[in-house]
C-alpha cells in the first residue's frame, strides 16, 4: 500500500479512514483498492472515505467494488462516503445507478464536515 494512500483521523465519536484513489482505477489496481476499502471497516462508528477526488477514470466494474464496500459498511454499522470531483466518474456512477446507493460528496472537506450519525445506507 502506498503510505500516502491511507490516513486515519480519530475523534471522540468516530474514526475516519481515508483511502485515496489514484487518477485511474482499472484492472491493475482495482483489486488492491477494493481490499483496502474492506480492510478499513471496523465495527461501530467508523466512517471510511473513498477519496476519488483525483480520479478521472473508473469503469462500471470498479463501481461494483464500491458497492461491496458499502455492504461491508452496513455489516459493521459503519459508513462509506465517496468523494467524487470529476464529471467522468460521476457520470459512470449515475449511469450504473450507484449514485442512488452511495453517499457521494463533491470534496473531501465536505465529506469530513458531515456530522450526520453513522447510519449506513442499504
Helix 87-95 × helix 60-75 angle, to 10°: 70
Q: Is 85 helix (H, G, I), strand (E, B) or coil?
A: coil
pLDDT recorded at residue 28: 87
pLDDT recorded at residue 23: 94
Task: Give residues with Cβ within 8 angstroms of 108, minimum separation 6.
Answer: 18, 49, 51, 53, 83
pTM above 0.85, yes or no: no
Q: What distance in Å separates the CA atoms of residue 18 and residue 48, rounded to the nearest whole number?
A: 6
CATH of 6-113, one of 3.30.750.24, 3.40.50.2000, 3.40.50.300, 2.60.120.10: 3.30.750.24
How many CA atoms within 13 Å lie on the side-chain side of 34?
Answer: 17
Q: Which residue has the higher pLDDT, 47 or 6?
A: 47
pLDDT at 1 over 50: no
Contact status, residue 106 vs residue 83, Cβ threshold 8 Å: yes
Contact status, residue 91 vs residue 60, Cβ threshold 8 Å: no
Contact status, residue 69 vs residue 79, Cβ threshold 8 Å: no
Kindly state the helix (H) or strand (E) to which residue 46 belongs, with its residue range: strand 46-52
pLDDT at 4 over 80: no
pLDDT recorded at residue 120: 46
pLDDT recorded at residue 116: 66
For residue 13, what pLDDT band results from cuts at 50, 70 and 90?
Answer: low
Percent of the chain at pLDDT exceeding 70: 80
pLDDT at 43 over 90: no
Largest CA distance in the chain: 38
Percent of the chain at pLDDT exceeding 90: 53
Amino acid at each position: 500500500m502506498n503510505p500516502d494512500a491511507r490516513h486515519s483521523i480519530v475523534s471522540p465519536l468516530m474514526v475516519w479512514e481515508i483511502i485515496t484513489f489514484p487518477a485511474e482505477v482499472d484492472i491493475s489496481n482495482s483489486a488492491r483498492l477494493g481490499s483496502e476499502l474492506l480492510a478499513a471497516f471496523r465495527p461501530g462508528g467508523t466512517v471510511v472515505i473513498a477519496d476519488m477526488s483525483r480520479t478521472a477514470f473508473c469503469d462500471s466494474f470498479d463501481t461494483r467494488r464500491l458497492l461491496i464496500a458499502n455492504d461491508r459498511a452496513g455489516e459493521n454499522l459503519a459508513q462509506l462516503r465517496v468523494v467524487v470531483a470529476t464529471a467522468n466518474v460521476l457520470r459512470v456512477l449515475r449511469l450504473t445507478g450507484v449514485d442512488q446507493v452511495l453517499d457521494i460528496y463533491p470534496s473531501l472537506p465536505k465529506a469530513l464536515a458531515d456530522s450526520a450519525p453513522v447510519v449506513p445506507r442499504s
